[in-house]
Amino acid sequence: MTVINRMTNNSPQEGLSGRQIMYDEDGKPCRSCNTLLDFQYVTGKITNGLKNLSSNATLANTAAATATSQDLIPGSRTYTKVDPPDVEQLGRSSWTLLHAAAANYPVKPSDEQKGEMKQFLNIFSHIYPCNWCAKDFEKYIRENAPKIESREELGRWMCEAHNKVNTKLRKPKFDCNFWGKRWKDGWDE
């Protein structure tokens, strides 16, 4: 699916978060490419009036509260109507999997294991559900080939790839000397 930055008469270009709103090819806002807050704003679930609130935390809480309907799915006594993940939840989930996969990668991988990890990251950059994030990752691994010779190499490479995204999102960098404690050993040992 191609995601475009689009502005029509009725489509806001910027969300409440201040970020650009991303649209799918069919002109609908892209769920997995925007934050929940912005998605709700652009689909009319949150009005512009909220923009006057001073605290971003308040906005986020309001969004979370309206997003999680407690209604049960028809026929179920346990599953509630949870909405699809937004770009942030998707990001957190995927980094968790990727870092943990690196942390459990063999210390001395076989040629087959190296090939599979390389291919996994390559395909990941094609199928990742946020299209613009996927393109960014694809470009990153083209310019910074995944280091797959050992667990230590891969764990550090993944940390650096994540930091590249952190920088882009204006988040602080993680000190990659601690990647093993964060994703494999924990902090007590």
Nearer to a second copy, 52 or 68 (CB): 68
CB 124 within 8 A of CB 117: no
Beta carbon of residue 161, minimum distance to a second copy (angstroms, whole number): 16
Concatenated DSSP letters of 99-159: HHHHHTS-SS--HHHHHHHHHHHHHHHHH-SSHHHHHHHHHHHHHS----SSHHHHHHHHH
Calculate the dihedral angle through the C-alpha atoms of 16, 22, 24, 28, rounding to the nearest 10 degrees.
20
Q: Count of CB atoms within 10 A of residue 98's CB?
A: 19
Indicate the residue among 18 and 186 with the shorter CB distance to a second copy. 186
Kindly state the smallest distance separating residue 48's Cβ from a second copy, in Å. Answer: 19
Taking Cα atoms as reference points, which of 137, 114, 118 lies closest to residue 126?
137
Identify the CA nearest to 59 among candidates 36, 43, 82, 93: 36
Binding site for a second copy (CB under 8 A): 1, 31-32, 43, 45, 69, 71, 73-79, 81-85, 89-90, 92-94, 96-97, 100-101, 103-106, 113, 116-117, 119-120, 123-124, 126-129, 131, 172, 174-175, 178, 181-188
Single-letter residue type at 173: K
Nearer to a second copy, 39 or 59 (CB): 39
Instruction: Tell me whether residue 143 or residue 189 sits nearer to a second copy (CB atom).
Output: 189
CB of 131 to a second copy, least distance (A): 8
Q: Which residue number, 61 or 104, has a Cβ lying nearer to a second copy?
A: 104
